[in-house]
Structure 1
Amino acid sequence: MINRIVSGMVQLAEGLGGIVGIRVGTEEPLYLSEPLADGVEIRRYGPRIAAETTVLEDDEQARNTGFRRLAGYIFGGNSRQTSIAMTAPVAQSSEKIAMTAPVSQSRGAQGGSVIRFYMPAKWSLQTLPTPDDEKVKLVEVPAETFAVLRFTGDRSPAAVDNRTAQLLKVLADNAITPHGEPLSWFYDPPWTIPWRRRNEVAVPVAD
């Protein structure tokens, strides 16, 4: 009973915190960073595991659909019916997977949006439960290097396109050639106050 009350209080506090962009207990993939120019940084990420799904809808609707599918997986839609917490778990006996940030969105080979949740570092493909939904896949993401531009506020397709163009211009001005398609990373829920949101656009580059 005490654990349930504490868990409920923690979830309420984190939900309220999400309104103003306070991210408590949300793991992020580790990276090394160095500045480039005009707010752009170069980040080097190590290998990591992601749950991903491809959605053949427009960008915003694809993000919503993909989020629901992946949330279904981490909230128990898996082979072990694992109890999943959106944040690091309060002391409980059940196995938990904490949701990490960011949610990643990119364009798939057939025109669909690929939505990813990165799994906490302690998990591997061998230890993660299998998704119940066949549209959700577990993938091993290799080490990658990205040029990244962070921004707040509007994250509509038009806003993302504008920021991506800004990022690509900085790369061109610095004689850096992209090595893949742009991605969008979102760290906060839709109800976060716009100017407190952390959003990013990223482009793979050579290490």
Structure 2
Amino acid sequence: MLSKITDTAGQVAEGLGALVGVRTGTEEPMFVREALIGSGSAQIEIRRYGPRIAAQTTVAAEEEAARNAGFRRLANYIFGGNRRQTKIAMTAPVAQQSEKIAMTAPVTQTRGADGNSVIRFFMPSKWSMELLPQPDDERVELVEVPGETYAVLRFSGDRSPATVAAKTEELLDALRGSDFHPASDTMAWFYDPPWTLPFRRRNEVVVAVSTD
């Protein structure tokens, strides 16, 4: 009983933290900052990330609808919709299990030329493809994401499709004339749940870059 009370209190505290943008118990991928472009709110970070594993799903829908549908599919996987019924907490433990996996931030969204969106949850660094449970939903797959160098523009507040598009254009404008050239489709990374107060949200638009 005491354990359940303690778990519930912890979840409430972390839920309140998420409301104001405090991310506790959420692993973020390690990176090396290689350069900075510009200054102020328009400053671009060049970050080098190592390889990671992600659970991903592809959704054919408008941007926000795709994000919501993809989030639900992936949330079902980490909340037990997998072959071993392992429950995986996002920002707080949802159950006491022999296997307890904390999802990392950010959640990523990529929109391809066909209009489909790919939504990804990154898995914690300690897990391998061999050890992660397989999803029950065939629309969810585990993929290895290679290490890459990204240009990143961070922003807070609104993350509607219009805002993401404007920030993406700002990112690409900043790269023009620099030593770094876009080498992939652009992506949006979201670090906070929808109920986080807008001014406390951490959002980023990113693109893989090369120096060729």
Normalising by structure 1, what TM-score? 0.95
Secondary structure in 2 matching 1:173: coil
Partner of 1:31: 31
Pair 1:87 & 2:127 matched: no
Partner of 1:53: 57
Shift of 1:64: 0.3
Task: Tell me the amino acid that sits aligned with residue 37 of structure 2.
Answer: L
Partner of 1:13: 13
Pair 1:185 & 2:186 matched: no
Task: Tell me the amino acid that sits aligned with residue 53 of structure 1.
Answer: T
Query: Percent identity, aligned pairs only?
Result: 63
Q: Tell me which stretches of 4 or more aligned residues in structure 1 moved more than 3 Å.
A: 87-93
Computed over aligned residues only, the root mean square deviation of the Cα atoms, in angstroms, reads: 1.6
Secondary structure in 2 matching 1:205: strand
Check whether the contact 1:83–1:94 (CA below 8 A) recurs between aligned residues: no
Shift of 1:175: 4.5
Structure 2: unaligned runs, 5 residues or longer: none
CA distance in 2 between counterparts of 1:184 and 1:120 reads 20
Secondary structure in 1 matching 2:195: coil
Shift of 1:94: 2.2
Shift of 1:4: 1.5
CA distance in 2 between counterparts of 1:47 and 1:109 reads 25
CA distance in 2 between counterparts of 1:182 and 1:48 reads 18
Secondary structure in 1 matching 2:154: strand
Moved more, 115-124 or 3-12: 3-12
Map of 1:1-207 to 2, 5 A cutoff? 1-33=1-33, 34-38=35-39, 39-87=43-91, 89=93, 92-108=96-112, 110-206=114-210
Shift of 1:174: 1.5
Secondary structure in 1 matching 2:88: coil
Check whether the contact 2:87–2:94 (CA below 8 A) recurs between aligned residues: no
Alpha carbons of 1:185 and 1:175: their partners in 2 closer, same or farther (altered >3 Å)? same
Check whether the contact 2:23–2:91 (CA below 8 A) recurs between aligned residues: no
Normalising by structure 2, what TM-score? 0.93
Task: Tell me the amino acid that sits aligned with residue 120 of structure 2.
Answer: R
**Number of residues paired by the alignment?**
207
